[in-house]
Structure 1
Amino acid sequence: MKTMKTEVLNHEDLHFEHQQWNSELAFWKDELKSFKNRLEELINRWSSKEVLTQLEHFQNEFILHGKVIDELQETTEKHELRIAEQTKTGHEAMDITLSKKHVEFREKMETQRQIYTDLKKEFFRFLTKYM
């Protein structure tokens, strides 16, 4: 006979995870600013169509990633509000719907973390070549 393991998600644990994500998102946002500054330096330094095309690619990627960061921050804020509302009712554990949403969001963060890491690697290889 199999027993099912049930994980209880407490509000404090979720709040802590949200804080971690918000810190990470804020760091990414700040990092994107410095990457955009690097792009400006390179735009002024290079006139080759090939290099400028790659610079445009990174510029577009940074803009898109910035929008994703904004969306993730907004989603985290909304989830925090839902948790706060549920906390007011005296429930320490999350209901099933909020728990599922939290796990889905965790997966989105993990996916975005990998996408961003890959983008940074690509950009650093580019910088090594053209800086």
Structure 2
Amino acid sequence: MEVSAQTSDIEQISNWRDEVIATRESIRSMRSQLEQLARHKTDDESLAQIEHFQNQFICQEEKADELRHDLKQSSKKISNNGQPAILHDDRPVDDYDVMYDRMNTFRKLYNELQDEFEKFRSFS
């Protein structure tokens, strides 16, 4: 029974990792779209918004990289029957529930950023 739970957790973590990778690609696409918009916008308000999104994309990509790494470590820990992987005090990877919460927070922040960027694009 325990092996089945481990396998299920590993599969879920793998799905999360795939989602994080896809999200990172989506952020790259939005960054490219932003670069196109920046070529045509010269007013101060638009430039401030462009800078805001550039910063947000960088932050979100950094979080995606951290999360992808930590999901990999979490999967390794589960695969090694609980043997320690590389753990970070500020980013625990040894607790499935913590990773679940981090993934939900990551999704929420990404969705908010995506919605905000879509609104900006539609007014540009």
| Common fold: TM-score over 0.5 | yes
- Counterpart residue type for residue 120 of structure 1: Q
Taking a change above 3 Å as real, the CA distance of residues 111 and 87 of structure 1, as seen in their structure-2 partners, is closer
Higher RCO (C-alpha 8 Å, min separation 6): 1
Moved over 4 A (4+): none
Question: Aligned residue for 1:118?
Answer: 112
Question: Aligned residue for 2:42?
Answer: 47
Give the fraction of aligned pairs with identical amino acids, expressed as a percent. Answer: 25
Question: Aligned residue for 1:109?
Answer: 103
Taking a change above 3 Å as real, the CA distance of residues 84 and 112 of structure 1, as seen in their structure-2 partners, is same
Structure (1 or 2) with the larger CA radius of gyration: 1
Displacement of 1:100: 6.8
TM-score by length of 2: 0.85
Displacement of 1:99: 9.7
Question: Aligned residue for 1:76?
Answer: 71
What is the number of residues matched between the two proteins? Answer: 114
Q: Which runs of 5+ in 2 are unaligned?
A: 84-91
Q: Is the 8 A contact 1:11 1:87 kept in 2?
A: no
RMSD of the alignment, in Å? 2.1
